[in-house]
């Protein structure tokens, strides 16, 4: 029997948790579904990642409104993937003035935004509830090169591109006075790393740049909030292990001149014992193996995923 494509059969709703991390920071986490972050300053609110649709964003907005009536002034895109960004329009009704992203993220939207949107919606319908409320692509209104600093009243918020990893444009949001870090999908915990658009060789160095911040708390892209330096380091180590194990398997497959199906079988030998039990592992692995095989073959710039390419890859890997 052919396995259901990607996560079309995943219909189980996840429990949402809204956790205060510091005087100004909250984590919106969802049992392995995409997380968001909230920073409430003196004069407004900043959102890190928007949820997948304006309809789904209403739950996050409701959580925010349970603790503050301040306007939502800023939306930060930690990177470009549809599941992170297509809910942005909901926040304009709440006062949002800027959608902020790195140069690399802006370039990804230009290059592959439409294809990615169609691809992701077909892969994982549950994560795009209310997809009819999406008005189109989310475009940044403020694009930065390496780092910018915002002030929410007296609260300093740094937004920085510290290196590539999950994508070429990953950005983190950092509260230096409270040592709280929002990493986007540069860090995962108890969930698979989606690596379909990754820069796998560069990713570990970027993780070490995050480690150098010595965060006391970290909100990963997926998984629970990490609430101590020891937990933060566990999350960094977990992610590093995932991506380095994956890339080495890709290199081994290329060295052995295996096809993609052979690469999948080889990769499972090292990945399944370590990660087979975590959230969305089976969803991510085909895309991850494809990217690791490409990068090991010398394709440094990730190929664009389209709905058609998704299905061709999925078919090629079925028994």
What tens digit of pLDDT does each residue of 240-278 get?
999 999 999 999 999 999 999 999 999 999 999 999 999
Predicted TM-score of the model (pTM): 0.95
Which domains are delineated in the chain?
16-317 (3.60.15.10)
Longest dimension (CA), the chain: 59
pLDDT at 222 over 90: yes
CA atoms within 13 A on the CB side of 262: 9
What tens digit of pLDDT does each residue of 198-211 get?
999 999 999 999 99
Q: Show the beta-strand stretches assigned E in the chain.
A: 17-20, 25-30, 33-40, 45-48, 72-76, 98-102, 142-144, 147-152, 155-160, 172-175, 180-188, 217-222
Q: Say how far apart CA 191 and CA 12 lie, in whole Å.
A: 16
What tens digit of pLDDT does each residue of 56-88 get?
999 999 999 999 999 999 999 999 999 999 999
């Amino acid at each position: 029997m052919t396995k259901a494509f990607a996560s079309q059969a995943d219909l189980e709703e996840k429990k949402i948790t809204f956790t205060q991390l510091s005087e100004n920071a909250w984590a919106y986490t969802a049992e392995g579904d995409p997380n968001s972050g909230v920073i409430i300053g003196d004069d407004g609110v900043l959102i890190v990642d928007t949820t997948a649709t304006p309809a789904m964003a209403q739950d996050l907005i409701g959580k925010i409104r349970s603790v503050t009536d301040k306007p939502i002034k800023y939306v930060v895109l930690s990177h470009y993937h549809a599941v992170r960004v297509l809910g942005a329009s909901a926040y304009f009704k709440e006062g949002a003035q800027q959608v902020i992203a790195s140069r690399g993220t802006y370039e990804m939207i230009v290059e592959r935004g439409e294809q990615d949107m169609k691809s992701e919606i077909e892969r994982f319908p549950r994560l795009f509830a209310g997809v009819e409320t999406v008005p189109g692509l989310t475009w940044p209104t403020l694009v930065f090169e390496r780092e910018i600093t915002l002030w929410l009243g007296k609260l300093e918020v740094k937004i920085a591109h510290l290196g590539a990893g999950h994508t070429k444009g990953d950005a983190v949001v950092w509260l230096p006075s409270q040592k709280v870090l929002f990493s986007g999908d540069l860090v995962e915990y108890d969930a698979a790393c989606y690596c379909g658009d990754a820069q796998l060789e560069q990713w570990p160095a970027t993780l070490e740049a995050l480690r150098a911040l010595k965060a006391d708390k970290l909100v990963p892209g997926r998984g629970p909030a990490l609430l101590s330096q020891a937990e933060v380091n566990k999350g960094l180590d977990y992610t590093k292990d995932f991506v380095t194990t994956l890339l080495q398997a890709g290199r081994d497959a290329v060295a052995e001149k295996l096809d993609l199906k052979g690469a999948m079988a080889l990769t499972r030998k090292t990945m399944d014992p370590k990660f087979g039990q975590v959230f969305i592992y089976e969803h991510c692995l085909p895309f991850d193996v494809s990217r690791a095989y490409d990068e090991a073959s010398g394709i440094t710039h990730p190929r664009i995923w389209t709905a058609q390419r998704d299905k061709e890859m999925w078919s090629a890997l079925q028994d």
